[in-house]
Structure 1
Amino acid sequence: MNRLLVLETIIEMKSFTKAAEVLGYTQSSVSQMVAGMEKEFGIQILKRSRNGVTLTAEGQAIYPYVVQALRQYQALEERAASLKGLKTGTVRIGAITSVSCYWLPALFKRFQEKYPNIEFVLQQGDYGMIRTWLKNGEVDFGLMTANYGDGFNKVVLHETEMKAFLPEWHPLARQDKVAIEQLTNDPFILVEGGGYAEPLVAFENAGVEPNVRYRIQDDYTIMAMVEAGLGISILSELVASRTDFKVVAKEIVPKVMRPIAIVYREKASIPIASQYFIDFLIQNEKELQ
């Protein structure tokens, strides 16, 4: 199992030397472990380049199994630890930006007050990235829209409303509510969903088509672009709660909703620490506003 951990760390650090430092090994021993794996499997797993150490094509083919084996071993260790009470463990989460910024920090703090030695690894991404991480075992569960979680188990935590984001000076900013048809005239900045986008579905349901000029993944970049007058957008209401950008958020008619869900494979295969945190999220779903 140590060899698999070494391989994962090399890929994360893109360096034999840095991986050795992180894991407390000599560079020679790290190189020997990788060489032993390559000899055992009969393939070259890693290659060195100007950009650091990367996986070969053969390495990319087997790497998901390396990650899966490490996570299963982690689950075994944490299951054994759980028999004595949850004392240690790592929770690996894939989440969209609005959830990771506005929900998770406070929840992390409260959970660690009860379980102080639990560590969190948070990866931010769009829906498509989170689905890939789930399939490859890189995260234990995702926090994303339930609408794009087909093929996985889902528990809906909360429905957040999506609103129209406009520059303060925009004519529509004076209205209390904005009809979705009114959002088709301006250049539209689409939050990139990685295969699914609630705004596009809302436009389609209304029988209209937006003038999509930009596709951006980051909510803050989109708000900066809206403030600069480059276009308008539809974003989660969570984003509007903490912003200094000179933009306004207006309710859309009909409402555009995003059901935020816990998305995972089989709960029994998830490490114990993550199972505890999932239960914690469900118990506190009423506080997710």
Structure 2
Amino acid sequence: MDERDWILIQTLYQEKNITKAAQMLYISQPALTNRLHQLERKLNVKIVNRGRRGVQFTPQGEYLAKAASEMLMAIQRIKENVLNFEDRLTGTLRLAVSNFSTDYLMPSLLKAFKEQYPGIEFKVTTGFSSDIVDLIYSQEVHIAIVRGDYAWNGQKHLLFEDTLSIAADREIDIRKLPELPRIDYHTDPGLKHSIDHWWHENFSEPPLVSIEVDKAGTCKKLVANGLGYGILPSMVLNGNDDIHTNVIHTADGNPIVRKTWMLYHEESLELNMVKAFVNFVKESDAREWLTD
């Protein structure tokens, strides 16, 4: 079995559908089916069963799917180590980045890094911070950028801190928030917990959520148009003079702070491209890359 076979098995396991897997692999459905049958004959096992509900992996197929992830990771590391012998910095840096940082931090950061190290490419995975942490734990990525504090025994570097604020298109009486329309947005569990905890410390009734949107940026635009108030990080609100803000505080009077971290494994620094990225970030002020 070669790398393409492991990719085929992994993709089919993820999609659970022959047609979708073929599309992901940019091959025809008959070609995928034929190669799958060849693998089954070569290994003398049944890998999948096909039914009306799609592809069902047999116990042997489940084992091969797990092995596919391990084999592809091993192949990737071999390629990285071979490239690491070269004098010039090349390779693909695997990053996992929180949705928030993807929108406001990474475009400028990656552009600046690419200008200095043109031989390094990126593979960026995005998601909620709670999911991103899992990827760095399992070493599926070289570096993770997360929002919030997580249990982590590896190396980490604080990029910046920002506060949470009540944001509205005009000055509002914070005591009357339960009576006012609120705009909520999808965010990671850590930030949602901080907001909910603050609310329960200050109010005995639930918020009047009138609009729910997908991102903080969309929430900010609706706030600016007078459709309600939002509870947003200062990173989103910087430079928006038309929005009135009130920093929210804990019961003991401290502002609620949200930290953004760069996480990585110490052994990853043995790869020159990882070391270059880590040093590049550490030697700069991350706030200079923040964009609206």
User: Is the shorter-chain TM-score for this pair beyond 0.5, marking a shared fold?
Assistant: yes
Which one-letter code corresponds to 2:128 in the other structure? D
Q: How does 1:64-79 map to 2 (within 5 A)?
A: 65-79=67-81
The question of whether the paired residues in 2 share the 8 Å contact of 1:78 and 1:89 is answered with: yes
Q: Residues 155 and 17 (structure 1 numbering): CA distance in 2 closer, same or farther, change over 3 Å? A: closer
Which one-letter code corresponds to 2:25 in the other structure? A
Residue of structure 2 in register with 1:169 after alignment? 170
Residue 16 of structure 1 is aligned with which of 14, 22, 31? Answer: 22
Structure 1 residue 205, shift from structure 2 partner:
9.5
Which one-letter code corresponds to 1:268 in the other structure? E
Residue of structure 1 in register with 2:189 after alignment? 195
1:277 aligns with 2:277: yes
Residue of structure 2 in register with 1:175 after alignment? none
Which one-letter code corresponds to 1:16 in the other structure? A
Residue of structure 2 in register with 1:256 after alignment? 256
SS of the residue 1:84 aligns to: coil
Q: Aligned equivalents of 1:54 and 1:275: distance in 2?
A: 42
Larger radius of gyration: 2
Q: Aligned equivalents of 1:135 and 1:286: distance in 2?
A: 23
The question of whether the paired residues in 2 share the 8 Å contact of 1:8 and 1:67 is answered with: yes
Q: Aligned equivalents of 2:153 and 2:34: distance in 1?
A: 39
Q: Residues 38 and 276 (structure 1 numbering): CA distance in 2 closer, same or farther, change over 3 Å? A: farther
Q: Residues 208 and 267 (structure 1 numbering): CA distance in 2 closer, same or farther, change over 3 Å? A: same
Residue of structure 2 in register with 1:238 after alignment? 235
Residue of structure 2 in register with 1:83 after alignment? 85
SS of the residue 2:202 aligns to: coil
Residue of structure 1 in register with 2:133 after alignment? 131
Q: Aligned equivalents of 1:36 and 1:242: distance in 2?
A: 60
Structure 1 residue 241, shift from structure 2 partner:
3.4
The question of whether the paired residues in 2 share the 8 Å contact of 1:95 and 1:130 is answered with: yes
Q: Residues 113 and 16 (structure 1 numbering): CA distance in 2 closer, same or farther, change over 3 Å? A: same
Q: Aligned equivalents of 2:152 and 2:11: distance in 1?
A: 30
The question of whether the paired residues in 1 share the 8 Å contact of 2:95 and 2:124 is answered with: yes
Q: Aligned equivalents of 1:140 and 1:48: distance in 2?
A: 38
Give CA deviations for 1:27-85 in whole Å, capped at 9, x if unaligned. 665444434555638453586879xx877586677646533432332122112211113
Structure 1 residue 117, shift from structure 2 partner:
2.9
1:157 aligns with 2:158: yes
Q: Residues 28 and 138 (structure 1 numbering): CA distance in 2 closer, same or farther, change over 3 Å? A: farther
Structure 1 residue 227, shift from structure 2 partner:
4.2
Q: Residues 191 and 14 (structure 1 numbering): CA distance in 2 closer, same or farther, change over 3 Å? A: same
Say how many residue pairs are matched: 273
Q: Aligned equivalents of 1:258 and 1:229: distance in 2?
A: 26
Q: How does 1:41-120 map to 2 (within 5 A)?
A: 42=45, 44-45=47-48, 56=57, 63=65, 65-120=67-122
Q: Residues 29 and 129 (structure 1 numbering): CA distance in 2 closer, same or farther, change over 3 Å? A: same
Which one-letter code corresponds to 1:119 in the other structure? E
Structure 1 residue 108, shift from structure 2 partner:
1.2
The question of whether the paired residues in 1 share the 8 Å contact of 2:129 and 2:188 is answered with: yes
Percentage of identical aligned residues:
18
Give CA deviations for 1:119-173 in whole Å, capped at 9, x if unaligned. 21222221222234345555333211241x214535132332133243313525x
Residue 223 of structure 1 is aligned with which of 207, 216, 220? Answer: 220
Q: Aligned equivalents of 1:36 and 1:223: distance in 2?
A: 54
The unaligned stretches of length 5 or more in structure 2 are: none
The question of whether the paired residues in 1 share the 8 Å contact of 2:97 and 2:126 is answered with: yes
Q: Comparing 95-104 with 274-283, which one deviates more in the overlay?
A: 274-283
Q: Residues 198 and 29 (structure 1 numbering): CA distance in 2 closer, same or farther, change over 3 Å? A: closer
Structure 1 residue 242, shift from structure 2 partner:
6.5
Q: Residues 268 and 195 (structure 1 numbering): CA distance in 2 closer, same or farther, change over 3 Å? A: same
SS of the residue 2:201 aligns to: coil
Residue of structure 2 in register with 1:211 after alignment? 207
After TM superposition, the score normalised by the length of structure 1 is 0.71
Q: Aligned equivalents of 1:19 and 1:186: distance in 2?
A: 50
